[in-house]
Amino acid sequence: MAHLVVRVIERCEEANESAHLDLSSCELMQIPDAVYHLMRNTELVTCNLSGNVLKSVSPKFSQKFSTITDLNLSHNKLSRLPEEFASLSALTKLNISNNSFIVLPQVVFKLQSLASLDAQNNAILEIDTDEAITSDNLALVDLRNNPLSRNCRRKLQNFKTPFLLEISKEMDDDW
């Protein structure tokens, strides 16, 4: 356990120099307050929190790291994102793949600069298609390997979107 604490501290110190915080595979269940303290004078560009066991992200994340452009939250246990994420106005790339989302968080469509959203390999059944259409800045939304409902899949396949929408081919029901 102590070696993980040392790893987090070392990576924060590296990020103070590079503006790229990599806390991947640190077995984090939450983002420690010490991280916010250690990074208080650094304007981060990227943040990698992949490969942890995060179940939620604190609303203060977006307040403390408001300048990030690339956020990787993949391979965690997330099922929602805080509404405060809408204030991440510089965020262009968001990876929430390989988590526990059953719905695509509405806040992702409030991210003004978002160009790429990777949400593959979750448990997403439905998507509010009206919200998806109104996001003009998106270039790519990857929803592959989600158990989208048949109705949702049909709606998405009929969309005329300004962005590339990736979904898996429909599987036949086994029953």
Distance CA 136, CA 139 (A): 8
Tell me, what CATH number does 157's domain have?
Answer: 3.80.10.10
Task: Give the number of domains in the chain.
Answer: 1
Q: Measure the CA angle with vertex 152, ends 151 and 154; round to 5°.
A: 65
Q: Please count the other Cβ atoms lying within 10 Å of the Cβ belonging to residue 128.
A: 13
What's the predicted TM-score (pTM) here?
Answer: 0.92
1-5, 119-123, 162-166: least confident range? 1-5
For the stretch 52-111, pLDDT in tens is 999 999 999 999 999 999 999 999 999 999 999 999 999 999 999 999 999 999 899 889
Please classify residue 82 by burial: count the beta carbons closer than 10 Å to its beta carbon, then call 0-12 exposed, 13-18 middle and 19+ buried.
Answer: middle
Give the pair of three-digit tokens for residue 84. 């405060």
Residue 174 lies in a domain: no
State the residue range of the domain holding 41. Answer: 2-166
